[in-house]
Structure 1
Amino acid sequence: MNSARLWRHGKEQFFAWLPALMMALFALGTGWLVRHTPDFTAASTVPGPLTHEPDYQMRSFAVRSFDAAGRMTSELRGVEGHHYPDTDTLEVSQPRVRSFDAKNQLTVGRAERGVSNGDGSEIQLYGQAQVVREPNTGADGRPTPRLEFRGPYLHAWVKDERVSSDQPVELLRGPDRFTGDRFDYDNHSGVANLIGQVRGVIQPARR
């Protein structure tokens, strides 16, 4: 009798605690699954590496820059433009560039294709590239002649007022003409450095 009573009592205690044991096992199993299941949501939000694919494009557009006083300092126009986020560059077909210095002196540029950096301060011109600084009056009151650069490639720094190229270039200063294998021009100093096979034709001054 004592054995039967103990057996019956133990069985009753087992079935009484069975739901709690099952819940504990279920909780342990759920915790293990949570710890070992991949977080697909977090993985999907991690940005992948940027590829050289355009994230937006424009047609028949114009991008303008202004100084703190609201004066336009530069303008870039194009038939079509594609922005690439990996390099933060804008590739433009048939670019047309206008830039004004602190004295409001105008410089214009054009080419078959152009590449501008993110803030438009640096523009590379490819294919029949041309940059022209219109005639003006210098600080000494004397007129400065029209200055033009031509070549297959020109690199313009708009804010620094510099133009350079590592390819052959033709420089026209008023009626004078110069050619070189590469060059660098600084508008602040007014000096153009021609390098390589340099040739020039200087017209006699008119009296």
Structure 2
Amino acid sequence: MIDRRRLLRYGRDQLSAWLPALLMVLFALGTWWLVRSAPRIVDAAGDARVSPEPDYFMRDFSVRTFEPDGRLKSELTGAHGRHFPADDTLEVTQPRLRSYDTQGHPTVATARRGVSNADASEIKLYGDALVVRDPVAKAGGEVIPRLEFRGEFLHAFVDEERVSSDQPVELRRGSDVFTGDVFDYSDKSGVANLQGRVRGTLLPQGKTPGQDPS
């Protein structure tokens, strides 16, 4: 009988000693289960998915960008515009981009359709694409003739003052006409790089294409 009482007392002592630890284990398991079972909160910065659909539309619009000193840098107009948040681009119907170089000389780009980046510093022109820069008078009286670039696709880089294409292009410099399959022109260097089937027609000053050069 004494041994039984001692055994019961020993069991109560052991239970009292281990009870806090057992309660902590049960509490930890319960917390783990609640964390696993609770719905996850979506992190708006990391898990949000940007829709590939346009998020706003414009009609008969004009978007202007300015230099830090307030000088007008470019103006993009169009009949219709759709903004795509996925890549922050603007798709434009009948775009007309008028940009200015560091000396204020304008260049005008038009097409049936265009895709511009956020600040209109880069635009891809599709269908009857045309980029025109009027004659420019340099210091000393030198005049750089009118430049025209024509093709079904032109890629204009406003900040770099550059036009390129991986499709056939016609380049007109004054009365001279050049064509090529691949094209790149830098206004800063004044160099045009034509590749593929390249052809050129050079006319004396005062003549226009179609006239007899004799």
The Cα shift of 1:143 comes to 1.1
Equivalent runs, 1:10-29 vs 2, <5 Å: none
The Cα shift of 1:47 comes to 4.5
For structure 1, list consecutive stretches of 5 or more residues without a partner in the other structure: 1-27
For structure 2, list consecutive stretches of 5 or more residues without a partner in the other structure: 1-26, 208-214
Name 1:24's counterpart in structure 2: none
Q: Which amino acid aligns with 1:61?
A: F
Name 1:67's counterpart in structure 2: 67
Equivalent runs, 1:48-67 vs 2, <5 Å: 48-67=48-67
1:82–1:206 Cα change, 3 Å: closer
RMSD of aligned Cα (Å)? 2.3
Q: Distance in 2 between matches of 1:140 and 1:38?
A: 77
The Cα shift of 1:88 comes to 1.1
Q: Distance in 2 between matches of 1:206 and 1:89?
A: 43
Tell me the TM-score normalized by structure 2.
0.77
Tell me the TM-score normalized by structure 1.
0.79
Name 1:89's counterpart in structure 2: 89
Q: Distance in 2 between matches of 1:205 and 1:31?
A: 88
Q: Distance in 2 between matches of 1:32 and 1:183?
A: 64
Q: Percent of pairs identical after alignment?
A: 54
Q: Distance in 2 between matches of 1:75 and 1:175?
A: 29
Q: Distance in 2 between matches of 1:68 and 1:122?
A: 18
Name 2:115's counterpart in structure 1: 115
Deviations 1:64-88 (A, max 9, x none): 1111221101111111111111111
Structure 1 stretches (4+) deviating beyond 6 angstroms? 30-33
Deviations 1:169-196 (A, max 9, x none): 0011111111111110000011111111
Instruction: Say if 2:42 and 2:48, in contact at 8 Å, map to a contact too.
Output: no
Equivalent runs, 1:49-198 vs 2, <5 Å: 49-198=49-198
Q: Distance in 2 between matches of 1:203 and 1:132?
A: 20
